[in-house]
Amino acid sequence: MTPACAPSDHSVPAPTTSEQPPFIHGAYYPSWKIYRNQPPSSMDLDIISHVFYAFIRVREDGTIYHLDEKADLHYPIPSTSSSVPSSFPTTTGCLASLTHLRATTHPHLKLLLSLGGASGSSPFPALAASPLARSTLATSLSTFLHTHAPGFDGIDLDWEHPSTPADGRHYLLLLRALRAALPAPRYLLTAALPAGEWCLRHVPLKDVVGELDWVGLMCYDFAGGWTPRSGHHARLYAAARPHDAYGARSVAGAVEYVVGTRGVPAGKVVVGVPVYGRAFLGVDGPGERFEGVGGADGCVDYRELPGKLKKIKEDLGVWGAACLRTGEGGRREWVSFDCPRTVGEKARFVRERGLGGLFYWTGVADKEGEGSLLRAGYEGLYGAK
């Protein structure tokens, strides 16, 4: 990984032709990672175009609050990667750290506040249904950006997910209120949405993308502790003979539904890549009934993989990778994850389909050097330097 304080020939955006605008190559930074000695500067910011700071929470009345005020505003953070001597002062809080990094060493970066999150989405239905709450939220965010994040460039809405026809209508009205308060081109407005027909059936996608700069399609978690069988959780293509309905989900299928069936412009679709694996206990591969999940709630950061393993296996039929390893208590784990080769194939898919780019959850869970998923995605989009 290139130290965050050092200029690099790999800095985004890469040289482009008149036919191809720069791709989005974004990464989420969750505030809680600061407590694991993973400051914003630990990401490979030379090859990241947009950082999504997660999360700011909402209330039903449209007011907002910090998920972690200490991490956001008060935690002392080195301004550079811990791997190099710092010539810059320590900043206070992740928001200031990101702003400082952009101002001093990475002027290409765009910074967005991510609003909500999977565990912070329950207030959205009531909020979005109320004209007063929508207006309050728009005003609250505008004030927050000016007060606490003056260097930030916009808002990323992460409502997971509108689940009724009324939610879908109100979702569009909410976006319109946000766009009115945060006009383009000064501010970016994006949204993260699940990948799959069932989750998106109530979202008026063509109207929604008219309010957005792009939509981030969360192309992961196709399998996990909630599914009856183990499976590749971020495969590019579905298996020829899926073991069940969950096994039929894929990145390509999600993109085809959004672009082909629902008419979203391809260039406004940014494909999400997980920088973590899904661990299943007591199985040797996909399509098996598992005994439980490993890791933290079934997840293992990519930087911790493969660990103790037999061998990484790349399933080229679906473009998903996995490994067998010994998990907690000596139990056998089968872990589904992306490797550099599968991410490179996803980057090629993005280029061939004319999509908007790639984003990653999360930028700090990556490995350094040849094992880096973000590096594989970047080089797949732009070519190795």
Positions annotated as catalytic residues are 160
The token pair that represents 229 in the structure block:
């069988």
The token pair that represents 381 in the structure block:
């989009």
Check residue 237 and report its DSSP letter.
S
H-only helix segments in the chain: 69, 94-104, 124-129, 131-148, 165-181, 197-200, 205-211, 251-255, 340-353, 373-382
Q: How far apart are CA 48 and CA 62, in angstroms?
A: 31
Q: How far apart are CA 90 and CA 267, in angstroms?
A: 39
CB within 8 A of 20, min separation 6: which ones?
Answer: none
Report yes or no: 168 and 262 within 8 Å, Cβ to Cβ: no
Q: How far apart are CA 51 and CA 53, in angstroms?
A: 6
Report yes or no: 227 and 247 within 8 Å, Cβ to Cβ: no
The token pair that represents 342 in the structure block:
């599968």
CB atoms within 10 A of CB 214: 24
Peptide bond into 362 cis (omega under 30): yes
CA distances from 130 to 123, 162, 307 (A): 11, 15, 49
Query: For residue 337, which phi and psi values (nearest 5 degrees)?
Result: -160, 175
Using CB atoms within 10 A of its CB, is residue 135 exposed (0-12), middle (13-18) or buried (19+)?
middle
Report yes or no: 337 and 302 within 8 Å, Cβ to Cβ: yes
Q: How many helices (H) and strands (E) does the chain have?
A: 10, 17
Left if phi > 0, otherwise alpha if psi is -120 to 50, otherwise beta: which for 78?
Answer: beta
Query: For residue 290, which phi and psi values (nearest 5 degrees)?
Result: -105, 165
Number of Cα atoms under 13 Å in the Cβ half of residue 4:
30
